Structure 1
């Protein structure tokens, strides 16, 4: 009987810890976003974060999108050839990339690269008392460190996803024309006929949400890190893992929301 009670108690503690963390994260997000509407705004920090998230993430996002588009074309051909509907490949590629793979893969790549960097940078400032120094200099750490990064994540991810969409479709086009023998004109016509504005819009809405989540979790875990270099390392790992899991969870929720569109 004691073993059963201990097991139930352990589950209860886990649920309470999860709820407590969710509440703390929500309050952190509200605090960070609220400073968007109160001066001053640190434009240089925002631009530096925008450059870090957007421009420097372009190579990894571009390569991921190109090869993913090519893989979708090959795998679709393998399945569709059995039913002689190869003409549907162009539509499958463009819809898969714009609605799903573009934002998800770009988000995961940025989470691994930028989320970790944010957590490490802010975590290092925390354990070396630089954040406390900002407070003594009458600078709000949330306004200076968190708010510009949240805004940069929201702005940068949609631009990255636009690039990922274009290159993903280009990857599928290249494989279909060069390897599978499709007519370039027919493939482009089928692509334009399949894609709709709502498909691109869904992907961009997901991208903005993913950018916010990545920046939020990177800042949150870095801001709350403790314990020296070991604590910074743990915060970095937690930021990447949490961002990846929440990204996939919100991807499902947004997909379900736009399912009928």
Structure 2
């Protein structure tokens, strides 16, 4: 049993490595599907704005309301805008939005490609001379890599707006004073690692969704399994990438 598990794990890693190689090999081939890339950017980005806006806004409100009682005990309520800004942009925003996108985007890609695999549409593309990896996989992974960081930036802005709303209703702070205090504590060392993380998150979400859908087994049951597995695997990868990036960033900045 342990040997079978080890062998299956090696096969799984090898399949992902081959899929990873196929992705990069097809990026630079002629006939790149720009129209499909823009369509995927629209589906992944624009179609997710609603839930991203709501999540970011509520996240800013909740974080502000949760922080106010504790900081008031120490007379440090003036630091609430800066604390919310740094917390959202540096860590909470990228991870929460990536997990939301893993549930929405990765599952959608996995289910879509798996259903195409079940109905033999991918085989039909290969027979007709089309390149299914370039058309289906490359465009979706690149769209995720581009749009997830943009969605995160938008969600961060909504979170700051939510934080201002909570502070204005509770403390009567002005817009100018709130955002001045919020952005004063923000540094490039907070923004750049966060942006880099979101790029990796986007790539992981697109790659996992495409891999699970493209390599799913035949049968209608595989569609649901591919969608569910894509969400779980992408979420795990997001947590692992975040832990690694935080450790590397702290080593480089505070060594």
TM category (shorter chain) comes to over 0.9
- Aligned partner of 2:63 in structure 1 is 72
CA distance 1:149–1:188, shift in 2 (3 Å) = same
DSSP-derived class of the 1:195 partner: coil
Shift of 1:183: 4.5
- Corresponding residue of 2:111: 120
Would the aligned equivalents of 1:61 and 1:105 in 2 still touch at CA under 8 Å? Answer: no
CA distance in 2 between counterparts of 1:95 and 1:220 reads 34
Deviation beyond 4 Å, 4+ runs, structure 1: none
Instruction: Provide Cα deviations, 1:54-80, integer angstroms capped at 9, x if missing partner.
Output: 110111111101111111111111221
Among 191, 200, 213, which residue is 2:204 paired with? 213
Question: Shift of residue 146 of structure 1?
Answer: 0.4
Residue 117 of structure 2 contacts residue 218 of structure 2 at CA under 8 Å; is this kept in 1? Answer: no
- 2:136 aligns with one of 145, 161, 172: 145
Q: Distance in 1 between matches of 2:164 and 2:192?
A: 22
**Residue 15 of structure 1: how far off its partner (Å):** 4.4
Structure 1 residue runs of 5 or longer lacking an equivalent are 1-8
In 2, Cα distance between the equivalents of 1:88 and 1:177? 14
Deviations 1:92-143 (A, max 9, x none): 1111111112211211111111111111111011111111111111112211
Would you say the 8 A contact 2:60–2:161 is kept in 1?
yes
Query: What does residue 101 of structure 1 align with?
Result: 92
Task: Kindly indicate whether the alpha-carbon contact (under 8 Å) linking 1:49 and 1:148 is maintained by their aligned counterparts in 2.
Answer: yes
Alpha carbons 1:33, 1:150 under 8 Å: kept: no
The residue correspondences of 1:1-261 to structure 2 (distance < 5 A) are 9-10=1-2, 13-259=4-250, 261=253
- Conserved 8 A contact 2:208-2:233: yes
TM-score, normalising length from structure 2?
0.93
Query: In 2, Cα distance between the equivalents of 1:41 and 1:30?
Result: 17
**Length-normalised TM-score, structure 1:** 0.91
Q: Residue 31 of structure 2 aligns to a residue in which SS?
A: coil
Q: What is the CA–CA distance in structure 2 between the aligned matches of 1:17 and 1:91, rounded to whole Å?
A: 49
Report the CA distance between 1:27 and its aligned residue.
2.5
Hey, what's the Cα distance between the residues in 2 that align with 1:225 and 1:132?
13
CA distance in 2 between counterparts of 1:53 and 1:185 reads 33
| Residue-by-residue CA offset, 1:15-35 (whole Å, 9 max, x unaligned) | 443343233223212211221
* Paired residues, number: 252
Determine the C-alpha separation between the residues in 1 that align with 2:146 and 2:226.
24
Change (3 A) 1:130 1:258: same
Superposition RMSD in Å = 1.6
Deviation at 1:83, TM superposition (A): 1.5
Structure 2 gaps of 5+ residues are none
